[in-house]
A and B are shown apart, each in its own frame.
Chain A
């Protein structure tokens, strides 16, 4: 714990990202402590995915510092310590769930037993031998999430992992994220569904490439005097527009 307290899992300073001639993230600085579930919430198109891509080192950034576990984002040392689930599902549709996971496990150098472990974690054991191309959207998303869980990464960057899932499964996955965080994993989860905010230890509310808030869910509601996160989001947006 002492090491975690000294060194944040994610450290971003002065991040500036331009995509297709448009400034997506003007100037962002924040830190994410290790061993917490942090929610990155904001409407679609607010820059969540771009920020997440910057953290895993696949986004060309114009300027700024992005460090994960004390290493520059995208560095070789991080490649087996980080689990990433991107916006598109990024699994092979012409392979079964198990074949997908076995391949990615090989690339990560993860033990073969990991495949069964992650299939169980995302509740896909029954569909393990089905072709991904014949699965429902939610099932494909779970195979993609399972891939990010391979090798037991220290930091997980998950872009909308619970979209389109049924409420029971969504609850189970949030419980999984908290179990992982209790074990020391840093989990950063994005969502455009504001009601998912209450499940996070900490919230980053994002709009137009900027953070409206960086707080615990309780702290956010107390500060804005609102009853839910969606209302708080609106209050903060109005406040920002007025100032």
Chain B
């Protein structure tokens, strides 16, 4: 693996985004609009938006980054650019970490804007620091990127890649504690939820929602998501094949 090749790959991915302003705008406008809709729905429900808003602020970037990365990687496969890169001195981790770095940078911008609107304009409030909600959003976006990179290797068309979103993300969402608190889930499902990364994103957000003190557990939650991100990226690199049928 080489730092310069990883960085070149990140710069290239960000340049592609810059040439596609419509996609870039959607990646920012969509979560802002969804947060606005949620705030409107829950307006008049007491502190409803404060109870649900912060959690969804992390979910939207996860879903968006998952879809964008899946389609982007699949395009690299179908257009032959990935094959060409693999005939060159590019290590497989350069490719996946290059993507992760580019979308990580973009996720910071995305989280800043979505948090800015949610806390500033839509009046969302948490007991802890709003910055930490942003940290969860960036971690979620990176998780979406990593899972997208890994799972797109099991798809051969963009239609298939997009289908992985409901299969992979919706069960995680169901089990993350948004619908039912995790300790009230049936035992087996509780165990499964203990493994899934989105559970920790929701846990981390809920800690910031109820406590003004940054607790060590918050950073443990973030660390577990980080382990998932690195693991998914390494698996993603491992499933890239220089030789194909």
User: A: which residues have CB within 8 A of B?
Assistant: 19-20, 56-60, 74, 76, 79-80, 82, 84, 86-96, 99, 103-104, 106-109, 131, 147
Contacts and interface: CB of A to CB of B under 8 A. Distances in A.
Q: Is the interface of A mostly helix, strand, loop or mixed?
A: loop
A89 B79 contact: yes
B8 A107 contact: yes
B4 interface: yes
Contact of B84 (A86, A99, A106): A86
A88 B12 CA distance: 20
Contact of B12 (A19, A95, A131, A147): A95
Given A90-B80, A92-B81, A94-B19, A57 B242 contact: yes
Given A99-B12, A103-B12, A106-B4, A79 B88 contact: yes
A92 B75 CA distance: 9
A79 B89 contact: yes
Interface of B: 4-5, 8-9, 11-12, 15-16, 19-20, 79-81, 83-90, 242-245
Contacts of B83: 58, 86, 90
B84 A84 contact: yes
A74 B242 contact: yes
Given A95-B16, A96-B19, A104-B85, 6 more contacts: A19-B245, A76-B89, A87-B80, A94-B20, A106-B5, A107-B88
B165 to A, nearest CB: 22
Contact of A57 (B16, B81, B87): B87
A106 B8 contact: yes
A95 B15 contact: yes
A84 B8 contact: no
Nearest to A131: B19
Nearest to B4: A106
B8 A58 contact: no
8 contacts: A57-B242, A60-B244, A74-B87, A86-B80, A89-B80, A96-B19, A99-B15, A107-B90
Contact of A58 (B5, B12, B15, B242): B242
B84 to A, nearest CB: 4
Contacts of B245: 19-20, 60
A39 to B, nearest CB: 21
Contacts of B86: 58
Nearest to B20: A94
Given A89-B80, A92-B12, A95-B16, A80 B89 contact: yes
Contacts of A59: 243-244
